[in-house]
Chains A and B, each alone.
Chain A
Amino acid sequence: MSSPTPQATSLSSDPIPTRQFGDGAISLEPGLGEKDMIINFGPQHPAMHGTLRLILRLNGEKVSGSEPDMGFLHTGFEKLGEYRTYNQFIVVTDRMNYFSAMANNTGFACAVEEMLGIEIPPRAAAIRVLMCELSRISDHILGIGLQGMDMGAFTPMLWSFIEREKVYDVFELTSGGRLTTSYTRVGGLAFDLPDGVEYRVRTFLDRLDDTVRDMEGMLARNRIFMDRTVGVGVLTRDEAIDYGLTGPLARASGIDRDLRRDRPYLGYEQYDFEIPVFTDGCVYSRYQLRLAEIRESAKICRQVLDSMPAGEINALGSKATLPSKDDVYTKMESLIQHFMLSMPGHGLKTPASGEIYSATESPNGELGWFLISDGSAVPYRVRVRPPCLFAFQSIREMIQGKLVSDVVATMSSLNVIAGELDR
């Protein structure tokens, strides 16, 4: 970044030094009058969940220009991918999205499997679907809770956190981790489902209905909430397409696109669920859409539990997963495979110049992975297409000419995850 860091200017009549905030359409500097004020929204601001920064040019309370500034949580995750084997990188993927780590684990594993042409057993696919949908529920329920919190309704957020803890309990039981799960492996899963998960998930889903109804009752028809959200932060269908939005934000703007249905993976085609679509594209329709998606995800979870196939959880024939210990001790081939996968300098057999772009529908939208392999066990390049990046860019369009309060409402409706934004 060549542009110098913009600083808060004092209110006195000092000449404001010329600064360049990039070459966007809305530059903050030209025509900065006496009544204009440049204000830093973040990176340490209560409404910026994570270290996001938004530079606002305010005329009174009105936003006359804005510039999203990224990079405060730059972690080098993508670069890290060039030094980690495929399975080791799964640990990094859940750090990217602490809202829904399971979805990221699954997305990366699916991408590698697609590149290597591995077919995972149906039980593994079903468990992955279950975990993805649970994390979608926990992401959306906290998302709408935070949306309420940013508008002053603190109580629904804490109710949603109770439900999120229940999802964490399930994750802890299955993967051992609550927040950072690292549950998937290339070709399958780290562990099979232990006993009691089905009961926990079912009781959670029953409770969830009540909580969602309560949260809806607190906000959905609340006059204040509707006044604050209906028609605020509008993004039309065309603008959403131009900005490359996917997921809930796109569907709230009327784009009927969901990879689970349009490009089914992990056997999503066998489950019966709806893709809710709203056309207003405002903050309120994003709220409604997330509520509807929670209900659909709960439906999928129940179907997965009803039709959970038995069998292996790893694609044992693929030479990409570790064989069972029994086989390692009794069979020559298994011993060799175990050795090859575990030892440094060996590992997964990848094509010499393999390239794959694979995308899954993560809670925030299309989560894409562009992988290049060079025949070694370590990727040549890992490129992530995070849904949040495009959402954060588009906020400029949504808040232009609106009030400071609308900035907060819009920002929280985007559900931007800073870890994913600055890979």
Chain B
Amino acid sequence: MESVLQLLFTDPVIGLIKGLLVIGVVLQIVPLLIYLERKLSAYMQGRLGPNRVNFVVPYAVPGLGGLRLVPGSLQPLADAIKLAFKEEIIPKDADKLLWYLGPFLAFFPIATALAFIPFGINHWDALGSGVIVDLRVCSVPISVLLLFAISSLGVYGIAAGGWGSGSKYPLMAAVRASAQMISYEVSMGIAVLAAMATVGSVDLQQFVVHQATQDFVDLGFLTLPNWLVFSQPLAALIFLVAMFAENNRLPFDMPECEPELVGGFHTEYSGLKFALFFLGEYAAMILMCSLFVTIFLGGWGSFWDTDAWGVFGWVAVDPHATDGINAIKSHLWFMAKVMAILCFQIWIRWTLPRFRYDQLMNIGWKVLVPLALGNLVLTAIAGYFLNPIGVGQ
């Protein structure tokens, strides 16, 4: 007997809901992230950070006035409104088509690639209806490959914006960005290859299941889960470094390093087009951090098992359960890890100086690629001897 929910939860409907949810959540996280970055950097630098546009409780307390909850928390919103009303200036020499395409090309591939990230457990019995839902938008078995194929299109946005501006500094930035992102994608891809060989799958959900269902090593006082950051530490490190370069963040922010190229590829952009570049950049940060968490930090899996002591056991995720609470817990674990890596990115950005362009290329091609290749070979050899039948099966 099919219930109403079962009739309602057809694949297109569920896909639509998940898609809207993911894009909506990411669009909401971006302002939060901007606020977090500004506040964290202010804390590191002995400043106050944004503190004017407060989130105020709508009712007034007699004698106290409105209660200020989080100082400056509405600053990203105010900035967005300001950008929406900015005059748009199009340079005389601009290539109109590329100029208009640039911001969209920078944002849409990133938003699309987010569809492959498993943001929760792979089998949730939706509202107890018996329909098993995989908590990611697009359940394809080759999601790693598709994700890389689509997200690397993001460089076209920067290249188009930089070239289409018809101006010299953006052009230099576009050239730098293309070279940098392509170079670092190589080492990143090879690092992920080693991870794929360990897991024996090219499905991101399988990555997480592999990490969540096994233990890596029992240290006696602590059992490490089978996260790839433990079994593939070098690949994780290479991915982490390449991640900064892919996101154009310091110390690899060649395409927009302010003291050299003024504003980089978006020097000539203003208004909402600039906002879209900005959005794409932060969405790319979220995408890359989610990818790192999924591949190396156990995705939505918890660090300890459900049989851990007291409340720890309760907050842990059971990779085999199908109930809703477990699904929510898995999502919260995923988000917590992503936020931690995002904070790490922010921390690095406000600490390190920037590389020079040739040094960046040297690190990419002469350090990271050989290391990643060596790691891949080692993984292959180890896989052949330790598990000749088939790794991860």
Binding site for B on A (CB under 8 A): 8, 10-11, 37, 39, 45-47, 61, 148-155, 158-159, 162, 218-219, 222, 224-225, 227-228, 403-408, 412
- Which chain B residues numbered 340 to 356 have a C-beta less than 8 Å away from chain A? 350-356
- Hey, what's the 0/1 contact readout for B73-106 against A, CB within 8 Å counting as 1? 0000000000000000000010000000000000
Say yes or no: B168 contacts A37, CB within 8 Å: yes
Say yes or no: B257 contacts A152, CB within 8 Å: yes
Q: B168's closest neighbor in chain A, by CB?
A: A39
- Hey, what's the 0/1 contact readout for B154-172 against A, CB within 8 Å counting as 1? 0000000000001011011
Identify A149's interface contact among B41, B259, B260, B359, CB under 8 A. B259
Per the bound structure, the CA–CA distance linking A407 and B257 in Å amounts to: 13
- Which chain B residues numbered 229 to 275 have a C-beta less than 8 Å away from chain A? 250-251, 253, 257-262
With A10-B93, A47-B259, A152-B250 known to touch, is A403 a contact of B356 (CB < 8 Å)?
A: yes
Say yes or no: A150 contacts B352, CB within 8 Å: no
Say yes or no: B351 contacts A155, CB within 8 Å: yes
**Interface residue? B307 (CB, 8 A):** no
Q: How far is the CB of B343 from the nearest CB of chain A, in Å?
A: 16
Per the bound structure, the CA–CA distance linking A149 and B353 in Å amounts to: 8
- Which chain B residues numbered 343 to 389 have a C-beta less than 8 Å away from chain A? 350-359
Q: How far is the CB of A40 from the nearest CB of chain B, in Å?
A: 8
Residues of the B chain whose Cβ atoms lie less than 8 Å from the Cβ of A149: 259
Say yes or no: B356 contacts A152, CB within 8 Å: no
Per the bound structure, the CA–CA distance linking A406 and B257 in Å amounts to: 13
Per the bound structure, the CA–CA distance linking A37 and B167 in Å amounts to: 12
Residues of the A chain whose Cβ atoms lie less than 8 Å from the Cβ of B250: 152
Which of B42-50, B130-138, B191-199, B320-328 lies at the interface with chain A? Answer: B42-50
Can you report 18 residue pairs joining A to B where beta carbons are below 8 Å apart?
A8-B168, A45-B262, A46-B259, A47-B259, A61-B357, A152-B251, A152-B354, A154-B350, A155-B41, A155-B351, A224-B251, A224-B359, A227-B359, A228-B359, A404-B357, A405-B260, A405-B354, A405-B356
Say yes or no: B353 contacts A219, CB within 8 Å: yes
Identify A224's interface contact among B44, B168, B354, CB under 8 A. B354
Residues of the A chain whose Cβ atoms lie less than 8 Å from the Cβ of B171: 11
Identify A153's interface contact among B166, B260, B261, B353, CB under 8 A. B353
Q: How far is the CB of B59 from the nearest CB of chain A, in Å?
A: 38
Per the bound structure, the CA–CA distance linking A45 and B262 in Å amounts to: 6
Per the bound structure, the CA–CA distance linking A61 and B354 in Å amounts to: 16
Q: How far is the CB of B377 from the nearest CB of chain A, in Å?
A: 27
Per the bound structure, the CA–CA distance linking A152 and B169 in Å amounts to: 18
Per the bound structure, the CA–CA distance linking A225 and B352 in Å amounts to: 8
Per the bound structure, the CA–CA distance linking A11 and B175 in Å amounts to: 14
Q: How far is the CB of A204 from the nearest CB of chain B, in Å?
A: 15
With A152-B251, A155-B44 known to touch, is A228 a contact of B353 (CB < 8 Å)?
A: yes
Per the bound structure, the CA–CA distance linking A227 and B358 in Å amounts to: 11
Q: How far is the CB of B176 from the nearest CB of chain A, in Å?
A: 8
Say yes or no: B168 contacts A151, CB within 8 Å: no
Say yes or no: A404 contacts B353, CB within 8 Å: no
9 A-B pairs with least C-beta separation? A152-B354, A47-B259, A158-B45, A153-B353, A151-B353, A405-B356, A150-B259, A152-B353, A224-B353
Residues of the A chain whose Cβ atoms lie less than 8 Å from the Cβ of B359: 224, 227-228
Per the bound structure, the CA–CA distance linking A149 and B259 in Å amounts to: 8
Most buried by B among A45, A154, A405: A405
Per the bound structure, the CA–CA distance linking A152 and B352 in Å amounts to: 7
Q: A146's closest neighbor in chain B, by CB?
A: B259
Say yes or no: B262 contacts A46, CB within 8 Å: yes
Per the bound structure, the CA–CA distance linking A33 and B350 in Å amounts to: 40
Residues of the B chain whose Cβ atoms lie less than 8 Å from the Cβ of A151: 259, 353-354
With A11-B171, A155-B44 known to touch, is A228 a contact of B355 (CB < 8 Å)?
A: yes
Q: How far is the CB of B347 from the nearest CB of chain A, in Å?
A: 10
Q: B163's closest neighbor in chain A, by CB?
A: A11
With A39-B168, A152-B354, A228-B353 known to touch, is A408 a contact of B44 (CB < 8 Å)?
A: no
Say yes or no: A152 contacts B253, CB within 8 Å: yes
With A37-B168, A45-B262 known to touch, is A158 a contact of B352 (CB < 8 Å)?
A: no
Say yes or no: B260 contacts A227, CB within 8 Å: no
Residues of the A chain whose Cβ atoms lie less than 8 Å from the Cβ of B262: 45-46
Say yes or no: A222 contacts B356, CB within 8 Å: no
Per the bound structure, the CA–CA distance linking A158 and B46 in Å amounts to: 8
Per the bound structure, the CA–CA distance linking A162 and B261 in Å amounts to: 28
Q: How far is the CB of B164 from the nearest CB of chain A, in Å?
A: 12
Per the bound structure, the CA–CA distance linking A154 and B47 in Å amounts to: 12
Per the bound structure, the CA–CA distance linking A380 and B41 in Å amounts to: 53
With A227-B355, A403-B357 known to touch, is A47 a contact of B260 (CB < 8 Å)?
A: yes
Say yes or no: A155 contacts B355, CB within 8 Å: no
Q: A8's closest neighbor in chain B, by CB?
A: B168
Per the bound structure, the CA–CA distance linking A158 and B43 in Å amounts to: 11
Per the bound structure, the CA–CA distance linking A45 and B93 in Å amounts to: 20
Most buried by A among B41, B251, B257, B260: B260
Q: How far is the CB of B216 from the nearest CB of chain A, in Å?
A: 31
Per the bound structure, the CA–CA distance linking A358 and B7 in Å amounts to: 94
- Which chain B residues numbered 168 to 196 have a C-beta less than 8 Å away from chain A? 168-169, 171-172
Q: A224-B354, A404-B260, A404-B261 are in contact. List 16 more A-B contacts (CB 8 A).
A: A10-B93, A39-B169, A152-B250, A152-B353, A154-B41, A154-B45, A158-B45, A158-B47, A218-B351, A222-B352, A224-B355, A228-B354, A405-B356, A406-B356, A408-B259, A412-B259
Say yes or no: A153 contacts B93, CB within 8 Å: no
Residues of the B chain whose Cβ atoms lie less than 8 Å from the Cβ of A407: 260
Q: B45's closest neighbor in chain A, by CB?
A: A158
